[in-house]
Amino acid sequence: MSVTRGAGPLSRRDFLSVSMTAAGALMASFNAPGVAHTAPSRAAAAARPVGGQPLGAFVRIETDGRVVIGARGCEIGQGVKTSLPMLIAEELDVPWSAVTVEQLPYGLLAGHDPPGFTSRYGPQGAGGSTNIPDAWNDLRQAGARVRWLLVQAAAQIWQQPADQLRTRDAQVLHPDGRTLSYGQLARRAATLAAAPADVPLKPRSGYRIIGHPTRVIDAREIVTGAAAYGIDAALPGALTAVIARCPYFDGAVAHIDDAQARRVPGVRQVFSIPGPRAGAVLDRNLAAGVAVVADDFWSARQGREALRITWTVGPGAQDSSDALERRAAAALATRGKIARQDGDLEAARKAGDRVVQAVYVMPLLAHATLEPPNALIDLRAQRALLVASLQSPGGASRMISAMTGIPRPDIEIRLLRVGGGFGRGLQNDFVAEAVLVAQSVKAPVKVIWTREDDLQNDFYRPFGLHELTATLDAQRRVTGWAHRVAATPRKYRAEGMEEESDWIGCADLPVEFSLARGWLRGPLPTFSAFAVQSFLDEVALAAGADPLALRLELLGAPRQLPYRDHGGPKLHTERLAGVLRRAAQEVGYGGKVPPGHGIGLASHFTHGGYVAHAFEVAVSAAGELEVVRCVCAADVGEVVNPLGLEAQMMGATIDGLSTALNLQITLKDGRVEQSNFPDYPLLRMAAAPDVDVHLLDSQVPPSGAGEMGMPTVAPALVNAIFAASGKRIRRLPLGAQLKGPTAAS
């Protein structure tokens, strides 16, 4: 692999400092046994030759002409380490094969007038599928501005007006055929005044990188084991900590017997760490616990096994999932708060011929990133260095500063590849733990979670009941629609939250529950689409209508509808109809299927993207389910990387299927019942179908893609199950419902 991991920000001084920080990304890249993969010392890093010429915050031209592009995003598997540099390279007009990509650290610029901070590289978090739409606005411009500088430099050398010069393949072209390479121009370009704010961008017809299939930039490092993730990070003298956390939410440590633990070879320190105060805002770590700090993971883990801890149970010690569902059902029986009301449902009900009503159940879910949460932190010398798998490095920076008093510019955060995000990393509770442990240890500390820690200490996808009601008139037309939700709000004890506004478009019935909740891939769309898209099929059945025809009829003529949540402000009905028609066409909707088979559809608008799924399934007499075909149609605007976009849709489809079939978190006697993958069984190879992905050609600016493929999977699946078997599934996960008595339609 390349050993050049510096980055090219604004100034020479900045460049040197970032080279040093980014050099840490190398620390896990040595393959020979016995070679310590420690980070280079600052002196050694500073002595490293710096030959390249930085141009702007993202581009460095090496003396050999290689173009180095900085990747600012958190690479959680959504492909931003590839796709964001593609946007820069396109407008810079360099061939992708000449590009080397380097991960940038978290970048903060301290401002003095006005006081505060700005982002050196722009948005760096990974949440809400916003990386591509953000970068579409600023990173294409970043590339174009560097290209502009290089053209100006050539214009000076040739004494030729810049508007007579063109670029191609990292070269500036003179009308007479002469060329100057970007490498030859870089130093002069760096001396020029900055480019104007709005340099013209390429027309779509000129794209040579955007829209072209591009492989994962780190693929070779990944398949050789050289790619570094947060959990692989190392610092000289770092210790490893494993924490025994209170299994009762808001509980505490009553008594510790650590005599055995301290005798475990390699264990250095054992001490308790505080949890959040009961009822207080959850902005740091999630649970009180006992930290075991040791020379390596195994010693720390053995030390934890040897602890004898008595816990104080919290106020939720008697709580359970069953009680939660009873509370939610009771809440549904009340009027609740009406979040939005258009028209008069009661009038429609009285005038109508028929009322259709159903209740759908969504379970709590865990994120279960394959890389368990971890954080390596060094708090010595009034500074902080954090290396961790993050989705919100800005949040980590603010949290560390709040906990330690270290000014944010003195907090350095290195970003490595992240072994899965799914929203888990939007919380930095594991970083808070690392801070708490490091404050008691005179060395850098890496906190590592086990799988059991992870499944039992998550910010879970909320639980909820959806009650949907539709009224039909004598002609079986839909005249009224109501959607009421009784749920644990997605935010819980968060700073400045407004729980009541957290579920939209429905009567809002927040239900008390004592487990932390958070965002999980396509949070509200996934939560809602199952109910809405399942119910559409139930309404179609009652109306004697075809489910696809009813959907298209309700979408109506092409128009824009207001959409006030993320992805708005408008929803284009024809784009939703477009993905529906495409999925239906590809699956062969309306054609004959064998006995016991059925086809189901669903579509949804998610964070600005439009996706439909179509499943053909077979259900045997014994209740065995087989996914025969699985089609996904996506319109997420202009496609940046078709290979990456297909991967996101394929992966989200399998994630959605895994979740719909088997996954839930349950609580009993105040404790999470699941502890490891056998009772949180993600789909394996044998059950994972091929996914037939179709990307619609679109010329509108792109939305993101990471979350859009998730919401429609479960409803398309259960609609297909109904078509195949006549059994309507209203509770997720599917589990054994096709085999049991609860499967009555």
Partner 1 sequence: MAIDFTLNEQRSSYRGDPAMPLLWYLRDHARLTGTKFGCGIGYCGACTVHLDGAAARSCLTPMSRVAGRAVTTIEGLARGAQLHPLQQAWIDEDVPQCGYCQAGQIMAAADLLARKPQPSEADLATLTNLCRCGTYPRIRKAIRRAAAQLQGARR
Size of the site for partner 1 (CB under 8 A): 74
Q: Please identify, among the stretches 51-59, 402-410, 479-487, 650-658, the one whose residues bind partner 1 according to the rule CB under 8 A.
A: 650-658
Is 47 among the residues that bind partner 1 (CB under 8 A)? Answer: no
The answer to the question of residue 225 lying near partner 1 (CB under 8 A) is yes
Binding of residue 639 to partner 1 (CB under 8 A): no
Q: Does 658 bind partner 1 (CB under 8 A)?
A: yes
CB of 215 to partner 1, least distance (A): 5
What is the distance between the alpha carbons of residues 267 and 79, in angstroms, rounded to a whole number? 39
Q: Which CB atom, from 4 or from 78, has the smaller least distance to partner 1?
A: 78
Is there binding between residue 678 and partner 1 (CB under 8 A)? yes
Q: For residue 2, state whether it binds partner 1 (rule: CB under 8 A).
A: no
Give 505 or 651: the residue with its C-beta nearer to partner 1.
Answer: 651
- Work out which of 103, 152, 240, 664 binds partner 1, going by CB under 8 A: 240
- Which residues touch 159 (CB under 8 Å, ≥6 apart)? none
Largest CA distance in the chain: 84
**Contact call for residue 184 and partner 1 (CB under 8 A):** no
Min separation Cβ 320 and partner 1, Å: 26
Cα separation, 505 vs 245, whole angstroms: 38
Q: Which of residues 250-279 bind partner 1 (CB under 8 A)?
A: 265
- Is 625 a residue that touches partner 1 (CB under 8 A)? no
Q: Which is nearer to partner 1, 370 or 549 (CB)?
A: 370
684 binds partner 1 (CB under 8 A): yes
683 binds partner 1 (CB under 8 A): yes
Measured CA to CA, the distance from residue 718 to residue 661 in angstroms comes to 10
Write out the binding residues for partner 1, residues 432-451 only, by CB under 8 A: 448, 450-451
List helix spans (H) across 66-181. 80-92, 131-158
Q: Is there binding between residue 78 and partner 1 (CB under 8 A)? A: yes
* Of residues 102 and 502, the one with the C-beta less far from partner 1: 102
CB-nearer residue toward partner 1: 468 or 660: 660
Strands 445-448 and 239-245: parallel
List binders of partner 1 among 528-587 (CB under 8 A).
none
234 binds partner 1 (CB under 8 A): yes
| Rounded Cα–Cα distance for residues 234 and 237 (Å) | 9
Any contact of residue 219 with partner 1 (CB under 8 A)?
yes
Return the number of the residue (215 or 337) whose C-beta is nearest partner 1: 215
- Stretch of 223-231, 425-433, 463-471, 571-579 contacting partner 1, by CB under 8 A: 223-231
**DSSP code of 572?**
E
Which residues in 315-374 contact partner 1 (CB under 8 A)? Answer: 368-372
CB of 296 or CB of 353, closer to partner 1:
296
- Indicate left, alpha or beta for 98 from its phi (over 0: left) and psi (-120 to 50: alpha): alpha
Closest by Cα among 390, 376, 447 to 424: 390
Specify burial of residue 688 (Cβ count, 10 A radius: 0-12, 13-18, 19+): middle
222, 323, 347, 549: which one contacts partner 1 (CB under 8 A)?
Answer: 222
Sheet hosting strand 692-695, strand order edge to edge: 597-606, 609-619, 625-635, 692-695
Coil vs helix vs strand at 345: helix
Report the nearest approach of partner 1 to the CB of residue 355 (Å).
39
Contact with partner 1 (CB under 8 A): which of 257, 296, 346, 512?
A: 296
Q: Strand 692-695 vs strand 171-173: parallel, antiparallel, or unpaired?
A: unpaired
Tell me the sheet residues that pair with 415.
388
For position 418 contacting partner 1 by CB under 8 A, the verdict is yes
Q: Which residues contact 607 (CB under 8 A, 6 or more apart)?
A: 128, 129, 130, 522, 525, 566, 567, 703, 704, 707, 708
Q: What is the sign of the dihedral through the CA atoms of 498, 500, 506 and 511?
A: positive
Report d(CA 731, CA 446) in Å as an integer: 40
Tokens of 380: 């010595």
For residue 662, state whether it binds partner 1 (rule: CB under 8 A). Answer: no
User: Do residues 386 and 414 touch, judged by C-beta distance below 8 A?
Assistant: yes
Angle, helix 573-587 to helix 547-555, in steps of 10 degrees: 160
- State the Cα–Cα distance between residues 260 and 525, nearest whole angstrom: 49
Which residue number, 645 or 743, has a Cβ lying nearer to partner 1? 645
Q: Which of 297, 401, 406, 735 is the binder for partner 1 (CB under 8 A)?
A: 297
Q: How far is the CB of 211 from partner 1 (least distance, A)?
A: 16
Residue 1 interacting with partner 1 (CB under 8 A) = no
The residue among 4 and 653 lying less far from partner 1, judged by its C-beta, is 653
Report the alpha-carbon distance of residue 65 to residue 370 in Å, rounded: 38
Q: Would you count residue 28 as binding partner 1 (CB under 8 A)? A: yes
Provide the angle, in degrees to the nearest 10, between the axes of the packed helices 182-190 and 131-158: 90
Distance CA(505)–CA(353), nearest Å, equals 25
Nearer to partner 1, 96 or 248 (CB): 96
